[in-house]
Amino acid sequence: QVQIKEDFCGMDVNQPLGTTNPIETEPAIMFDNVLLTSVAATATNDYSVAFLGTNDGHLKKVVIEGQRHQINMDQSRVSIKAYEFADIVIQQGHRINPDMFVAHGYLYVMTTRRVTMVKVQECHQHRTCMDCLGARDPYCGWCSLENKCSIRNDCAEATSDPLYWLSYKSGKCTTISNVNPAQIQRTTTRTLNLVIDNLPMTENGHYLCVFTMYGKSQTTNATRSPTGVFCPTPSTDTLPLIQTDTRP
C-alpha cells in the first residue's frame, strides 16, 4: 500500500504521463442562469439518469444518451448528449446540498434543514400512451397489453416482446392507422381490415374487436393479419337502430 504524502509526486513509482494532444470534451448539457450544487447519477434500462440540484432549491432530472459515430473503417467516436425531462421544486430559495443519493426507488435530497424523499419515477400519473411516451422519462414506458404507463419490471412479459413495453425512444404507440372499408351500411356484415402499428402478440394469439354504439358494446373474435387484425362486424340484427335527429 502506497502512503500518499506531500512528496508523492516525486516517488519513482509515480511516473507522469506526457502528451502533446490534450484531452478535450464538450458539455452534454448546459443551463442558463442556473448554478448546480449537487449531482447524483444512476442507470435504468439502457439509459443513464442524472439528478441535479440547484442553488435555488430545484431538482432537475436529466437523461444522458450516447450516440456512436463511425469515423472510418477502424475508428468510431461516441458523442454524449443529455436533456432535461423534469424540474421539481424541493424548497424554493434554499440551496440543494451535495449529499444526494438514490436508494430503493427514491432520491434523498437535502437542504440546510430538510431531507426530502423524491420518487425517481411516477409513471402512473400518465394515463395515455401519448402522455407516457411524451414525458420522455427513461423510467417509464407504455405497457401495451395492460394499457398503462409503468416501469419495465411492472409490465408482464415485457422482456419477451419489445412491443409489450414501449419506451419513450420507440416514439410510437400501438395505434389503428387504417380501417378498410372505412364505412359500411348498417344492414351489411363485413370483415374489416385494421392496420395496427406496434401491435404485440398475445400469449394465446386471441384478439377481440369491440364495437360501441349509443353506449352499448359488442365484441367479435378477431384474426391476426400481417399488418394488424381482421375484424368481422357484429350481426346486423344485434345492432341498435340509428337514432334520428328530432330537433325542429
pLDDT digits (tens, 9 = 90+) for 113-148: 899 999 999 999 999 999 999 999 999 999 988 899
Question: For 5-9, 93-97, 229-233, 234-238, which range has the lowest pLDDT when averaged over its residues?
Answer: 5-9
In CATH, what class is 125-167?
alpha beta
CA gap 134, 127 in Å, rounded: 11
For the full predicted model, state whether its pTM sits above 0.85.
Answer: no
Per-domain boundaries in the chain: 26-120, 125-167, 175-238
pLDDT class of 17 with cuts at 50, 70, 90:
low
Could you tell me the pLDDT band of residue 8, with boundaries at 50, 70 and 90? low
